[in-house]
Amino acid sequence: MAQIKFKAKVQKVQRISRPDGDKIEFVYVEILKIPTLTRSHCDMAAFRRHPKYTHFANSDFFPGMLARIKQDKGGTLGELKLDQLPAGVSVDTSGFLAEVTIEV
């Protein structure tokens, strides 16, 4: 299984939610910003053996594929909410910076 790993700071962001109609509620959400993913974040040996990415791991198309993975996991904002992690994403928050692992 190919992995993408990076470290990021956990931030508490105040978001607005409207659970029932006109009532506005301010909620603190813990998020991580996903950086621009590059080859240095990837286990390239695993990507070269991956059935989907094997032919593109050493090509000029690979950064575009990483951008697509970032969009699929983090949405248009490029953020990961710690309380709603997508499938294949794990976060270790035991240190000062959180270590994020994305399984591809």
| pTM: predicted TM-score of the whole model, two decimal places | 0.84
Neighbouring residues of 63: CB distance < 8 A, sequence distance ≥ 6: 37, 38, 39
Predicted pLDDT at 21 = 65
Average pLDDT, stretch 10-30? 77
Higher per-residue confidence, 3 vs 23: 3
**pLDDT surpassing 70 at residue 95:** yes
State pLDDT tens for residues 48-76.
999 999 999 999 999 999 999 999 999 88
Question: Phi and psi (nearest 5°) for 6?
Answer: -155, 165
Q: Which amino acid is at 18?
A: R
7 vs 15, more confident: 7
Instruction: Kindly tell me the burial class for residue 32, based on how many C-beta atoms sit within 10 Å of its own C-beta (0-12, 13-18, 19 or more).
Output: buried
- Residue 36's pLDDT is 95
